Structure 1
């Protein structure tokens, strides 16, 4: 073999090793983003809004008319339905599914893939992984009015497609000819992160080459708001809703409900390289755990959440000191934020990296939260710029354990990996570790 051939072989071997993890499994990279949210309808818009640190909470006319105890939230920005859907689809799909399908369409386009199926991808080896905390709940409640009104013979024909928990996943699969696994995960507010993590495991295991993965929820309705208000989880600063969501702040009193959809296109690294795809980064680590202590409250000591973070770091092959910043779940409730701060302190000790929380801007977008956080965390890592936490002014004893970014964006070393937490009612914990390209 000539020197030139040996050099070429070395570069080829190095290229292959760059596409494999230390355990020999393939790296899973992010090649597309799509989002519909209160902070914007494109990744660039969302990132700019989150960097501004300005809450998107507003009074919602439907809630005000219904006289709910809390009449504000963070609705997604208006969706151009004509751009994404035919007239029959607009009648058949509910709001949640429309947001999810539109965000997934954008993610597929952003990845440089063709709508309706791309010949560069084997249909049987691409999957759809969707997370949702509430699925078709809003539609089911609205349609349930027929039962109370005694008009069951007039239930709309599209009722079943609107209330199917798997409607979003099924519609994405059909639109993009994804004939591999098509799953819907419901792990509370960790659902979006769970969907991404499970898609990563499937790609690593060799079951599929690519996936559309993320989360969606849209439950900003009177019944759901009344239900959350009854269990005391909602922020109550009604005269000034933009000040209500206060992650980690000493005066936090609950979360602001939002609605959103966020999806990523995930691919095996060598598969993405072969088609010349642009790569945003890698989902390098994933772990999940059950905080089996209480149905709607985390363990106060944060022990299980800390173990979940530690496991995700181990999966990524990284020590805590390598993490450039943390995107926290941080809902703005007293118990959640205090427990998460303790968990971060347990995991990182005296080397806690800067911590941010997007929910002060977007509201608590439930099953979409983990996916939107993953997108923002990866964009932050690429730019080396961590968004501020909206409405944070001062910590309490527990949240003082961590370094909460507030006021202005924080500059960090670019290309440093990020860690993103998602915790859901029912004790579902999920952590992702993301490394920028």
Structure 2
């Protein structure tokens, strides 16, 4: 199979960029011809605001570049991972014009929400779900800027009106929770498949003998850092907490390690260092307070055999099975989080059982082999439907 893979690069470690690269490598390992087509948002840093707004709505250069790639490589399908903002949804139109089916992975909620998070001022916000996103402009949801938010809202409204999303043959949601949100937002259920991310290569299980809890992620409000730190203040040093990551709340975390017993901020770490920390951690804490579309850190912990203490919200609560691969706690509730930590500490046999279950969950759902089978099933369904529709219309 010949696949044209398109992504707009954020130049951030991991995240969408990491998933894109992992899928390209996996498909090539399986003998497929994969042509990556990457757009770099860094190109927009020093350009006038009006030009930036124009390409977000419709990038003519991106349209021409994708058309050239399609005509040169004749792909069986175009798999879009992200168009925002540089590539623009114009790339979907060129695939339609060239009669190439489109698969699109929904890595975030950008097509439903101006800031792509459903999170505003410290709480979940669904004000724009299924509606024209004028409230996102009013609140300045994108980069705390009403003009910038107006550009995003205009892009969403324009392409709804043009029927751009109807041109996509199949969407891929990362969890059933995310799929349901897109259905609530008006997307047709039959066009949305669920396929999670995966961890490859297999890092192998750890021993879990470190005696500490671990947080890995961006240090930002929606990740639940405030709840995490308040919970550890209540625990009073009963178990060390190691925090890996960086972000806008770094000063608060740096101060917390001076004030709260057991808290240690390690900053950013290379992937192999993160895996080593995960493997020795007693458990991972995932306190997000927004609708994560997936939660890759959780399945990385599972791959290491480490249970996850997860906020029961969005995809995080779906990925972690309460009582089997970890425990749930109420999002934004430090008392409940502290209580669940104390329960784990008081039940070492249950914690050991959860380690085995976490590793089994990874092996059952999140390996490269499992993911490849699911992805190919989606591609084949899309191509079969396209051939069937072509024959039907050809014979009419």
Tell me the TM-score normalised to structure 1 length. Answer: 0.30
More helix by proportion, 1 or 2?
2
Tell me the TM-score normalised to structure 2 length. Answer: 0.32
Higher relative contact order (CA 8 A, sep 6+): 1
